[in-house]
Amino acid sequence: MLKEIDIGHAGQSANNAISDLEVAISTAKSDSRITAVKIIHGLGSGRVAAEVRGWAKEQRGRFRGVINGEDYDMFNKDAVDMRSGFLSSKDEDFNRRNPGITIIWL
């Protein structure tokens, strides 16, 4: 199952968005049904997106993979492998090359 969280449209600071992200990821990791988390950070000024991607990089090794939205397509092996765990779920962002999202494969 793919869980979706929107931290980019709440009008909060990048630091608060990262705090929300950390809680959401911890909660998702404790639920065996959740395979991945789609983080909607939007584009806006780019600050929240940069913070999310920087945080994900710092967490290297904690996740099976991190896929930037612009790479979330059928040509990305990690994206295809990850999606095999929840193919019954439709995800409108797959193959759309959306830089306003980041996928964390738990």
Q: Which residues contact 10 (CB under 8 A, 6 or more apart)?
A: 17, 20
In which band, very low, low, confident or very high, does the pLDDT at 88 lie, cut at 50, 70 and 90? low
For 10, the domain range is 2-105
Mean pLDDT of all residues in the chain? 90
**Residue 106 is encoded by which pair of tokens?**
């738990």
What does the alpha-carbon distance between residue 44 and residue 78 come to, in Å, rounded to a whole number? 27
Mean pLDDT of the region 52-56: 96
To the question of pTM greater than 0.85 for the whole model, the response is yes
What does the alpha-carbon distance between residue 50 and residue 48 come to, in Å, rounded to a whole number? 5
- The candidate with the shortest Cα–Cα distance to 4, out of 72, 59, 77, is 72
Q: What pLDDT sits at residue 6?
A: 94
What does the alpha-carbon distance between residue 48 and residue 14 come to, in Å, rounded to a whole number? 5
pLDDT digits (tens, 9 = 90+) for 7-26: 988 777 888 889 999 999 99
| CA end-to-end distance (rounded Å), the chain | 11
Give the CATH number of the domain where residue 53 resides: 3.30.1370.110
Q: What angle do CA 22, 70, 16 make, to 5 degrees?
A: 25
Task: State the total domains in the chain.
Answer: 1
- As a residue count, the chain comes to 106
